[in-house]
Amino acid sequence: MIREANSPFSQRGPARQARLTALFFFGLTAGCAADPEAIQTQALQAASQWFTQASAWQAEDAVEPPACHAFGLIKFPDADCTDMVTHAGRLEDASRSIASVKLRECFGQGNAEVCGEFAEIWFDSKTEAGVGIREGMVLKRDNEQFRMYWYRSDTLFTELTRRAEQAEASTEIGRLAASQERLEAAYTQIVERDPGVYTYPPCIDARVSSAAMVGDLIAMSKVTVQALDQRDEQCNKDLCLALVGKRIAALCL
């Protein structure tokens, strides 16, 4: 575990806060506001305060959770402020040790990239059960004040991955449902025109493949029981109908 002797996360209680305050005001009175070390100290102080508030809110000792930078939420909408505060508040504050601190001019990639004054801090932390967790945060400095811009941890990454997988599955289910609805509408039209087609049911959740398809695609206006009977003779399984665009495929499944 990496632990820095001068880290505000290596001390607890009033002593830690007194040291942070002394370091911060020393940087200001010494005229070092633009000095990287003073800015880094300011970022660490802001991170410490945010974590303390997150722990208090998780323990229901605070009415309001700590705030998150609105622009960060817009650029990284997969997690909201409650997600970040909740996952940070579940970790043992005393276990946090700084792994790295880096001042950055820009953060994010592509459309999510924003330039300005950023501090990226990574920690080695532990859950209440003693399980090691990696967590990191990015703070953005506006008007000489740092605000929490982005936070992620191993547990939050896992949660976001689970959500993405559920959303993908839900989208696929929705796509299949819409496809089935279109097939049923087309099938109804065909049967109304030629009731004998009712012998061959619509396929349920079937994927069209060249191996399963019997004959060429059929225009809806040319789907007849005679055309399907000819294809059925070539099928040693069950023949069903699928919709491909605006045409019908006879599948042997």
Give the CATH number of the domain where residue 24 resides. 3.10.450
Cα–Cα–Cα angle for 173, 178, 181, rounded to 5 degrees: 125
Q: What is the dihedral of CA 162, 163, 166, 172, to 10 degrees?
A: -120
Structural domain includes residue 186: no
- Is the same domain home to 43 and 139? yes
Cα–Cα–Cα angle for 219, 224, 227, rounded to 5 degrees: 85
Radius of gyration of the chain (CA): 30
- Is the same domain home to 18 and 143? yes
Structural domain includes residue 187: no
Burial class (CB in 10 A: 0-12, 13-18, 19+), 22: exposed
The pLDDT of residue 104 is: 95
- Is the same domain home to 152 and 199? no
- Is the same domain home to 104 and 220? no
- Is the same domain home to 145 and 65? yes
Residue-number span of the structural domain to which 212 is assigned: 194-252
Number of domains in the chain: 2
* Residue where one domain finishes, among candidates 136, 161, 186: 161
- Is the same domain home to 81 and 126? yes
The pLDDT of residue 174 is: 75
CA distance 45 to 9: 9
- Is the same domain home to 100 and 215? no
Report residue 238: phi and psi, to 5°.
Answer: -110, 140
- Is the same domain home to 100 and 56? yes
Per-residue pLDDT of the chain (253 residues; tens, 9 = 90+): 334 433 444 444 444 443 433 433 444 444 444 689 999 999 999 999 999 999 888 887 666 788 999 999 999 999 999 999 999 998 988 899 999 999 999 999 999 999 999 999 999 999 888 899 999 999 999 999 999 999 999 999 999 999 888 887 777 777 778 888 889 999 999 999 999 999 999 998 788 898 999 999 999 999 999 999 999 999 999 999 999 988 999 999 9
- Cβ atoms 20, 120 nearer than 8 A: no
The pLDDT of residue 34 is: 64
- Is the same domain home to 21 and 123? yes
- Is the same domain home to 114 and 212? no
- Is the same domain home to 23 and 102? yes
